[in-house]
Every structure is written in structure tokens, then in C-alpha cells.
A = this chain, B = another copy of it.
């Protein structure tokens, strides 16, 4: 699941519409919409503002090899 889809899920689980969410998180409605639609050029601080609202944060992770994922071993 992509970042934008996860955010949408979080909002839905919180029982909020985009309008309500935008208001409560202190962000523009269009920003919320574009974010949930997968806009890739959003500003990091705005994204963090969204995540903080839901009690989430960003972390970096090493890309996983499909091979490892599916077979449980390297190569």
C-alpha cells in the first residue's frame, strides 16, 4: 500500500471526511485531496503534519529484494 493510500485509510478509520480532516489538521482541502491521490511533490513538512495528526511518523527502510521476501533466502 502506498503512502497516500495509507493516509486515506487512517483518515477513514478516524471517521473523518476530507473536509473535516483538513480543518482539524490545519491544512488545505486541496492539499489533502492531492495527497490522497498520490501527489509526489508535496512538501515534507506538510506530510509530517498529516502523519503527526494520526500519531504516525516517517522512517526510512532499505528496499527489500523480492527474492528474499518470497523464498526466505538470498539468491
Contact = CB atoms under 8 A, between A and B. Distances in A.
Interface residues of A, number: 21
Chain copies in the assembled complex: 2
Interface class of chain A by DSSP: mixed
Given A40-B45, A41-B44, 19 more contacts: A3-B58, A3-B60, A6-B60, A7-B60, A40-B48, A42-B43, A43-B43, A43-B44, A44-B44, A44-B47, A55-B63, A56-B60, A56-B61, A57-B60, A57-B63, A58-B58, A58-B60, A58-B61, A59-B59
Contacts of A57: 60-61, 63
A51 interface: yes
Interface of A: 3, 6-7, 40-45, 47-48, 51, 55-63
